Chains A and B, each alone.
Chain A
Amino acid sequence: MAKALEKAFEPIWNWASRRYQAAVAKELKKYGLRYDDLLDDMYDLDIKEALARLPQQEVDLRNQRLKRAMDYSGKHIYMPKALQAKQTPYLSYLQDTLQLVKEERKEHAELGSDMPYNRAIP
């Protein structure tokens, strides 16, 4: 029953996803950002761990995109349209590693232990 409902709503879901992804991509391209660049390592320590496992080159490229985006944002301008057309906002470099880190966290929790890092508010 659930599968049938899922199949029935799949076209609507896909249409909504396309619209949503296009809207977000339009904003990301204005600043030359990728979706993964929006993930802040201060928000979640798992993101920080995932970033730590990336090759240094990926991290450097991420930081360069962030700096460029902040420069555009501070000047209230956008990336030139010609450059915007070349952007790949959904080319992921972090999602797989982040997924791995989250699976590790889940495994730790199942075994009754915890990640070596954890944040206690504040």
Chain B
Amino acid sequence: MVRRLSILKQPIFSTLNNHLIDYPTPSNLSYWWSFGSLAGLCLVIQIITGVFLAMHYTPHVDLAFLSVEHIMRDVKGGWLLRYMHANGASMFFIVVYLHIFRGLYYGSYASPRELVWCLGVVILLLMIVTAFIGYGKLRQMSFWGATVITSLASAIPVVGDTIVTWLWGGFSVDNATLNRFFSPHYLLPFIIAGAAILHLAALHQYGSNNPLGINSSVDKIAFYPYFYVKDLVGWVAFAIFFSIFVFYAPNVLGHPDNYIPANPMSTPAHIVPEWYFLPVYAILRSISNKSGGVAAIGLVFVSLFALPFINTSYVRSSSFRPIHQKLFWLLLADCLLLGWIGCQPVEAPYVTIGQIASVGFFFYFAITPILGKLEARLIQNSNVCEDLSPRKLSHIFKNLLDVVK
């Protein structure tokens, strides 16, 4: 490639060039690899819309609900900003969940990309906290959802109740809670951006995985223009999908109770979080003991963190791991089932189904250390004729010669 400009060789621009333009990328990446840049796009959308919303939002218990109505009705383009921000959060989680499941299917978490995976889980945690504290506190579902989830901290022995009071800034979710939640809600996305840069840096240490899970150093092409264009196609498809929600169904992913101002005297019949928290919420509720439920949530993230280190399979891609492939689809179905259970009332048969689904979720992680070894033993079983190692072949020939003599 003839460089007409030497600017790409200068200090800061050379970094941009090495990581975004001439960066060697496996040639066979599919569209499943576009969700990373899409997640970055979602973060930018959330930050920009969030900053502009913050110019008009009032984080005070008497004015918050009304300020949002003011944004929707009086601020020019306010309705668009608000709907983009609310639906943008859902889009962010859709993209990130697809990104995570892609990583699970193709073994992108496996060595040497453990750090990439762990940083990704950190980003997911930060996203969950940001989305939770940004859900508002002065609407019926937001208020009661916040009350339920922050109360979980009382499960911590000895200091639990003190922590809850400190979180609330008082004896219930009130003005103090609103302010102390709004401030980190503004700050955390920038921490997420920093974590995303670290995530990319860790990725670029060894390069991307690919759909076959093999070493791709034999066939790499420049990121620009090939994957720039591929990602752009993904961005356009995302923009269309996002626009359908923003312009045609802006409230379908939300809860109608959130158009009712918060009433501490009236508890909703069914308290549910936003859809992206439902699977974890279902796991929490499947254990009747409060501490047990909190421990189960902790175990979900510990399992995610531990995955690269408990994996024993030398083969990455599920294309060549039929047993893991089936377990993956079971896990996906299980997560969808948990999501459905999360929005059902806590009564039979949903409780039992939720408990079984929760066990199913952890089963995937529990079986991972054994699965790799089992698959290797199945492949290397020398009693079956498929094994044609040179040593066995020569042994077979030697026996044949002995018979002939």
A-side interface residues toward B, CB under 8 Å? 10, 13-14, 16-18, 20-25, 27-28, 31, 33, 35, 37-44, 47, 63, 66-67, 69-71, 73-74, 88, 90-93, 95-96, 119, 121-122
Contact = CB atoms under 8 A, between A and B. Distances in A.
Contact of B214 (A25, A27, A66, A122): A66
A91 to B, nearest CB: 5
Contacts of B6: none
Nearest to A95: B389
B76 interface: no
11 contacts: A20-B375, A21-B379, A33-B214, A39-B315, A44-B314, A69-B214, A70-B28, A70-B210, A71-B28, A73-B211, A96-B391
B111 interface: yes
Nearest to B309: A121
B77 interface: no
A74 B33 CA distance: 13
Contacts of B29: 74
B314 A39 contact: yes
Nearest to A37: B214
Nearest to B26: A70
Contact of B219 (A17, A70, A121): A70
Given A38-B314, A41-B215, A25 B386 contact: yes
B119 to A, nearest CB: 10
Chain B interface mostly: loop
B28 A43 contact: no
Given A24-B379, A91-B390, 11 more contacts: A20-B378, A25-B386, A42-B206, A63-B218, A73-B212, A74-B27, A91-B389, A92-B390, A95-B380, A122-B202, A122-B205
A42 B215 contact: yes
A89 to B, nearest CB: 8
A70 B27 CA distance: 7
A27 B386 contact: no
A23 B379 contact: no
B399 interface: no
A14 to B, nearest CB: 5
B112 A119 contact: yes
A43 B111 contact: yes
A88 to B, nearest CB: 7
Contact of A71 (B111, B219, B323, B390): B219
Chain A interface mostly: helix
Given A20-B375, A41-B215, A90 B388 contact: yes
A37 B213 CA distance: 10
A50 to B, nearest CB: 12
B85 interface: no
Contacts of B213: 38, 40
A93 B314 CA distance: 16
Q: Which 10 A-B pairs have the closest CB atoms?
A: A74-B28, A17-B381, A73-B28, A122-B115, A20-B378, A21-B386, A92-B389, A70-B219, A23-B322, A67-B218
A28 B212 CA distance: 10
Contacts of B378: 16-17, 20-21
A24 B320 contact: yes
Contacts of A95: 380, 389
Contacts of B214: 33, 37-38, 40, 66, 69-70
Nearest to A18: B384
B321 to A, nearest CB: 8
Contacts of B319: 27
B110 interface: yes
Nearest to A15: B384
Nearest to A72: B28
A43 B212 CA distance: 14
A108 B219 CA distance: 36
B322 A24 contact: yes
B216 interface: yes
A28 B17 CA distance: 36
B320 A28 contact: yes
